[in-house]
Amino acid sequence: MPLNRQANPAISNGSHSPAAEKAVPLTPPADKKLFTPGPLGVSLSTKQAMLRDLGSRDVEFVNTVSFIRQRLLEVAGVPASTHTCVPVQGSGTFAVEAVITTTVPRESGKMLVLVNGAYGQRMATICQAQGLEHRVLNFEETQKVRVEEVARVLAEDPSFTNVAIVHCETSSGVFNPVEEVGKAVKKLCPEACYFVDAMSSFGAVPLDLTGGSVDFMVSSANKCIEGVPGFSYAICRTGRLLSCKGVARSLSLDLVEQYLGLEKNGQFRFTPPTHAMLAFCQALRELEQEGGVQGRAKRYRGVGATLKTCIFIQFPID
């Protein structure tokens, strides 16, 4: 049957229906105020950075990924000579699961999970889903993890290969003493891998990864750095990461292979979130313009103080 080669005006002029010729641009609704730890409200310029297309192997996009990885190391305060940044497609939980599946040894692996909220519990749930031996050390949701209790458990059982903690427990806002716990881990279980979920704090709350002996830390694009959802990332001690080659129980969440692929040609193994990464590149520039971690922390403290004042005015305490 011969092809109908008659020109279709609705297609030739770039529209797909007669109604498209009459369409007028719609005024977007005003942004809502998002009182959540992420996604956050983002700047107009960050949104506008997504209004273009780049291929995943485009030189400009490869350079964008390289910039993001290097800049995140600078935000973390660690050198490229000892650390690396590995971005992972997906939400923050994808990075959490990637670290767990990549670092807990297949033989004799055992993780101590320090839990004082929903996100600590999520790490335990991941261990359970993957069939990993683990112990949950629970604390009250309104209280921070107690270093002395962690030290007691590690002293009684130094066979733990991994220890995991949340920096800022998103469900309550409680900050845990990550650096002090890290020192206890390295003293009592010097070979153990220390993992910190800094999802809701990285980029706005200072954290000494070196002083706290942190081996792996994760966060997400749509948290304090104020990008849009689409990917997360792990800041890793490079040597520690490479020692985990062949451990992962997942193909797509294998941090070692993700790292090796990026180092080889600057490209993701699987389709990357190009638009989200373009937005994040702009968000990183705006973080620097604001004064980095300290500058953003100052603004967040000011916003928090204003919010508290407004709440007390609206709902006074007798």
Give the per-residue pLDDT at 315. 84
Determine which of 8-17, 110-119, 177-186, 245-254 has the lowest per-residue pLDDT on average: 8-17
Sheet holding 193-197, edge to edge: 83-89, 231-237, 216-220, 193-197, 162-166, 111-115, 134-138
How far, in Å, are 29, 300, 301, 313, 315 from residue 307 at the CA level? 24, 10, 10, 10, 12
Examine the pLDDT at 143 and tell me if it is beyond 70: yes
Residue 245: what residue type? K
- pLDDT confidence bin for 10, thresholds 50/70/90: very low
Examine the pLDDT at 7 and tell me if it is beyond 60: no
Q: Cα separation of 69 and 63, whole Å? A: 10
Examine the pLDDT at 159 and tell me if it is beyond 80: yes
Report the chain's mean pLDDT, rounded to a whole number: 92
Determine which of 4-18, 171-185, 263-277 has the lowest per-residue pLDDT on average: 4-18
In this predicted model, what pLDDT tens digit does every residue of 289-309 receive, in sequence order? 999 999 999 999 998 899 889
Q: Is the dihedral of CA 133, 135, 141, 145 positive or negative?
A: negative
- pLDDT confidence bin for 158, thresholds 50/70/90: very high
Examine the pLDDT at 54 and tell me if it is beyond 60: yes
In this predicted model, what pLDDT tens digit does every residue of 111-140 receive, in sequence order? 999 999 999 999 999 999 999 999 999 999
pTM for this structure?
0.89
- pLDDT confidence bin for 317, thresholds 50/70/90: confident
E strands in the chain:
83-89, 111-115, 134-138, 162-166, 168-169, 174-175, 193-197, 216-220, 231-237
Please tell me whether residue 170 adopts helix, strand or coil conformation: coil
Nearest CA to 92 out of 203, 179, 212 is that of 203
State residue 115 phi and psi, 5-degree precision.
-120, 125
Residues in a beta bridge with 113: 136, 164
* Average pLDDT of span 262-279: 97
Nearest CA to 220 out of 273, 172, 158 is that of 273
In this predicted model, what pLDDT tens digit does every residue of 64-101 receive, in sequence order? 999 999 999 999 999 999 999 999 999 999 999 999 99
Examine the pLDDT at 5 and tell me if it is beyond 60: no
Q: Give the H or E element holding residue 58.
A: none
Is residue 15 packed enough to be buried (19+ CB in 10 Å), middle (13-18) or exposed (0-12)?
A: middle
Structure tokens given for 129: 């889903």
- pLDDT confidence bin for 23, thresholds 50/70/90: low
Residues in a beta bridge with 138: 115
* Average pLDDT of span 22-35: 73
Q: Is the dihedral of CA 64, 213, 195, 295 positive or negative?
A: negative
Contact between 291 and 112 (Cβ < 8 Å): no
Give the per-residue pLDDT at 2. 44
In this predicted model, what pLDDT tens digit does every residue of 211-221 receive, in sequence order? 999 999 999 99
- pLDDT confidence bin for 248, thresholds 50/70/90: very high
